[in-house]
Copies of this chain bind each other. A is one copy, B any other.
Amino acid sequence: MMDHPVNPAKSVVAVVMGSKSDHEVMTESARVLADFKVPYEIRVISAHRTPDRAHDFAVNAEDRGIQVIIAAAGKAAHLAGVLSSLTTLPVFGVPMTTSDLGGLDSLLSTVQMPAGIPVGTFAIGKAGAKNAALLAVAVLALSDTRLREELKGFRKKMRDQVAADDADITQAGIQEMF
């Protein structure tokens, strides 16, 4: 399924943000999906300002072939919960950093969903944006051998990077000592 080229008309993952100002952060999600060649779309839909749009998006997502929805919002961050209430597709939430409470408000509004309507929630900000996309890839990889292999390759690349960083720091430490 993942073998066709990137094509927004055939999005498999939807990255939805509640405000245009979340775009920079959510580029982290987009970049992961692009790297893994997962067709995705990136949208601005506000649960609060455009509830009907959110409704239409969510109820039609499955029929359009979307398999995972990543929803990012800040403050009283209802977007992920609202979308999950309208679809049975997996919905992942990314809480945005907020200037006053650091994102604790976004986090609690996203993660503390009452029983029945699940939202898998990730870390506040860019780390969360990246990880939500990685978990979307992991979900798709359950039925896609290529993605499974690429995920393992991604892990290996991270390991190699840490090993290189380790060598750098250790070397620097030795030089400082002598």
Chain A residues close to B by CB (< 8 Å): 6, 8, 17-20, 23, 28, 30, 34, 40-51, 53, 55, 67, 74-76, 78, 81-82, 84-86, 88-90, 92, 97-105, 107-127, 130-132, 134-135, 138-139, 141-143, 148, 151-152, 155, 158-159, 161-163, 165-166, 168-170, 172-174, 176-178
Contact in complex: B90, A135 (CB < 8 Å): yes
When chains A and B are docked, how far (Å) is the Cα of A125 from the Cα of B112?
Answer: 10
Measured between C-beta atoms, what is the minimum distance from A82 to chain B in Å? 7
Contact: B92 with A120, CB < 8 Å? yes
With contact pairs A8-B174, A112-B109 given, residues A51 and B86 touching in the complex (Cβ less than 8 Å): yes
Contact check, A134 vs B112: say whether CB atoms are below 8 A apart.
no
- Nearest 4 A/B pairs, CB to CB: A120-B120, A118-B131, A42-B173, A20-B165
Bound complex: CA A40 to CA B174 (Å):
9
Contacts of A114 in B (CB 8 A): 18-19, 46, 48, 74-76, 123, 127
Q: Do A44 and B113 have beta carbons less than 8 Å apart?
A: no
> Smallest Cβ distance from A157 to chain B, in angstroms?
10
Checking B40, B112, B116 against A105 with a beta-carbon cut-off of 8 angstroms, the contacting residue is B112
| Least CB distance, A93 to chain B, in whole angstroms | 9
Q: Whose C-beta in chain B lies nearest to the C-beta of A147?
A: B88
A177 and B8 contacting across the interface, CB-CB below 8 Å: yes
Q: Which residues of B contact A81 (CB under 8 A)?
A: 47-48, 76, 78
Please pick, from B42, B88, B98, B142, the residue contacting A152 in the complex, using a CB distance under 8 A.
B88
